[in-house]
Amino acid sequence: MAQTITEQIFSRRVGHDVRPGDVVVAPVDFVFSHDGNRPQPLETFRSMGGVQVFDPSKVAMFLDHAPNVHTPAVAEMHRRMREFAEEQGITLFPAGRGISHQVLPEEGYALPGRIIVGSDSHTCTAGALNLLATGVGSTDLAVAMMLGKLWFKVPPTIRFQLEGALPVGVFSKDLVLHLIALVGVDGATYRAVEFHGPAIGGLGMDARMTVTNMAVEMGAKFGIMEADDVTRRWLRQRSLDDSGAVDSDPGAEYEAVHQVDAGALVPVVAEPPTPDRVRPAADLGGVAIQQATIGTSANGQLDDLRAAARVLEGHHFAPGVKVYITAASQRAYLAARREGLVDLFLDAGAVIGTPGCSGCTGASGFGVPADGETMITSANRNFIGRTGNSLAEIYLASPATVMASAIAGSITDPRPFLTPSRSVGAA
C-alpha cells in the first residue's frame, strides 16, 4: 500500500499500516514545554496525578518566550519550572539559550522518522528534518510527559510540488507566504503538508525550517520534507543518525497537489491581520514604517542574519525607524558575532535582543510597538496585538525585505540592494 511520509512514520510506530482518519496511540520520541503556556504543563501534570515523567532523557523545558525575565511573574514562573526540572531530572534550557524550535535540531533531538510533541504551535518546524512534529495543548502535553505516548488522528496529506529555483532577492519566507496565500490560513487544517521539488532541494536547512515553521499558518498538523542529500549532510556534519529517513511512496494518495513555479516568485509581504494577505513588496512602497524586527523562530537563524547583513552593508537606517534584531539561539548569535554581523547591526543602531522569542510576542517584553505605529517583521504571525499592542499594524516579510524597509523607511523590495554574488544562501 503506497503511503505518504506521515502515514509511513505512524505505521512504523504503531506496528501496522494506517490510513487517513485512523485514530492511533503512538509512542513519542521527545516531549517539551516552554514558559509561554497557561496553564503550565507541569501544573496540569500535577493535577492529573503525575509523579514522574516517562523518561527524563526524552523530556525538556525551555525558558524561551520571556528570555528577558521582565516581570516578577515571569521570574516566579521560571523558578517553578527550574524546580520541576531538577525534581524530575529533565533538561531545562535557560533563558538566553534560544527558541525550542531552533535548539531541538542543534541538540540532536530532531532526527528523521521521529515523533515530537511540544507545547508550542510552531513545533512543526522540526519537520524540515523528515519527522513528525506538532504542537499540542497543556493537557495532551502532560499526558505525553507521563506516558510517553499520545493519541493522534492520522491526517490526510497535501503535497506542494515546488519547481525551479528561487530568484535573487526571493527567499524561503517569500515562498512559504506565497503558499499560505495559495490555500488560505485554514486551507490545510489538520492536514499533513509535504514540501517537494527542486526549489526545496536548493535550500539550506535554515531556510527549510522557515517553510515548515509556517506550515501551521495554513492550519497544518505537520509540515514535513523528505530526507535528501542536504538533510543527510547536515546530520552527518553533526554526527547525528539519519537511519530513520522516510520518503513518500510512488503512487501515495494526496488530498491535493499544488504545483508552483518558484522561479516566478517575487519578494512579498503579508498585510495585517493574517499571513495569507500577501502582496508583492514592490506594490507596498508607499507604506511608511516606524519599526523593523528581525528574528523569531521563523527567521532568526544564522542564514537569516546573513541575509539581513547583506542588505544593510553600506547603508543606514532611515531616520525615525527602530530596528530590533534577535538570533533564535545562542549558537546562532555566537556564530553571527564571529562573522562580524552583530557589530554591523550595532554600528547601524539596531537593538540586539536576548536569544529566544524576543520580539515575537508582546509577552517577551522586547520590541513592543507604540500606538499607531506600523512595523515590519520576519516573524510568523501578524495577528492584531501579536507583538503587544493591538493599536499597531504588523506586516510580515523576509529578513532581507525587513532590512531593506528599515533602510528606506517604508516597505521596500530588497532586490535593488542585492546582487547575485551577495544573495547566495537564501534564508
Express each pLDDT in 309-340 by its tens digit. 999 999 999 999 999 999 999 999 999 999 99
Q: Which of residues 87 and 425 earns the better pLDDT score? A: 87
Residues 6+ apart with CB under 8 A from 193: 157, 158, 159, 160, 215, 218, 220, 222, 223, 224
CATH code where residue 273 lies: 3.30.499.10
Q: What pLDDT score does 421 carry?
A: 46
User: Model-level pTM?
Assistant: 0.95
Domain co-membership, 258 together with 401: no
Angle (CA) 347-349-351 rounded to 5° is 110
For residues 77-92, give the mean pLDDT. Answer: 97
**H helices present in 326-369, as ranges:** 330-338, 341-348
Q: What pLDDT score does 420 carry?
A: 55
Paired with 294 in beta bridges are 325
Q: What is the C-alpha separation between 206 and 176, in angstroms, rounded?
A: 13
| Residue where one domain finishes, among candidates 262, 280, 309 | 262
Cell numbers standing for residue 28: 513519542
Type and span of the H or E element at 26: strand 23-27
Query: Are residues 378 and 298 in contact, defined by beta-carbon separation less than 8 angstroms?
Result: yes
Residue 254 lies in a domain: yes
Angle (CA) 185-213-419 rounded to 5° is 100
Q: What are phi and psi of 317, to 5 degrees?
A: -70, 150
Domain co-membership, 115 together with 247: yes
State the residue range of the domain holding 390.
269-422
User: How many domains, the chain?
Assistant: 2
Domain co-membership, 70 together with 145: yes
Nearest to 289 by CA among 322, 324, 326: 322
Q: What is the pLDDT of residues 382-405, one digit of tens each?
A: 999 898 899 999 999 999 999 999
Q: What is the C-alpha separation between 112 and 97, in angstroms, rounded?
A: 24
Domain co-membership, 197 together with 93: yes
Q: What is the C-alpha separation between 192 and 6, in angstroms, rounded?
A: 7
The count of residues in the chain is 427
Domain co-membership, 383 together with 257: no
Domain co-membership, 250 together with 393: no
Domain co-membership, 189 together with 251: yes
Q: What is the C-alpha separation between 95 and 105, in angstroms, rounded?
A: 18
For residues 118-123, give the mean pLDDT. Answer: 96
Q: What is the C-alpha separation between 327 and 334, in angstroms, rounded?
A: 9
Q: What pLDDT score does 312 carry?
A: 98
| Residue where one domain finishes, among candidates 262, 297, 324 | 262
Q: What pLDDT score does 427 carry?
A: 55
Q: What is the C-alpha separation between 93 and 110, in angstroms, rounded?
A: 16
DSSP type of residue 38: S
Residues 6+ apart with CB under 8 A from 424: none
Residue 427 lies in a domain: no
DSSP type of residue 52: S
Q: What is the C-alpha separation between 60 and 82, in angstroms, rounded?
A: 11
For residues 99-106, give the mean pLDDT. Answer: 95
Query: Are residues 297 and 327 in contact, defined by beta-carbon separation less than 8 angstroms?
Result: no
| Residue where one domain finishes, among candidates 262, 289, 321 | 262
CA atoms within 13 A on the CB side of 126: 31
Q: What is the C-alpha separation between 386 and 106, in angstroms, rounded?
A: 27
CB burial string 118-153: b at 16+ within 10 A, e below: bbbebbbbbbbbbbbbbbbebebbbbbbbebbbebe
Domain co-membership, 250 together with 277: no
